[in-house]
Amino acid sequence: MKISIYGGGCKNCQTLYENTQRAVSELGIDCEIEKITDMEKIMEAGVMLTPAFAIDGEIKFSQKVPGADELKKIISQAS
């Protein structure tokens, strides 16, 4: 599983990244988490509003910053 966080590096993007790391750690799953800040790559992925969250290339949501508990549900449903 590969989780991608799309954003330019704002506070919300960083918070989403940290919450994702916490959720993955609490779930005890092995996955890659990447932060994508290159605007060209963000646009190529079809992201119009950041931060955005994707699992294996599928955008799950954008323009929100859920907590670790909500992220655990999203990640669990995808695995």
Catalytic machinery residues: 10, 13
Question: What distance separates the 2 farthest-apart alpha carbons in the chain?
Answer: 32
47 Cβ neighbours under 8 A, 6+ residues apart: 6, 59, 62
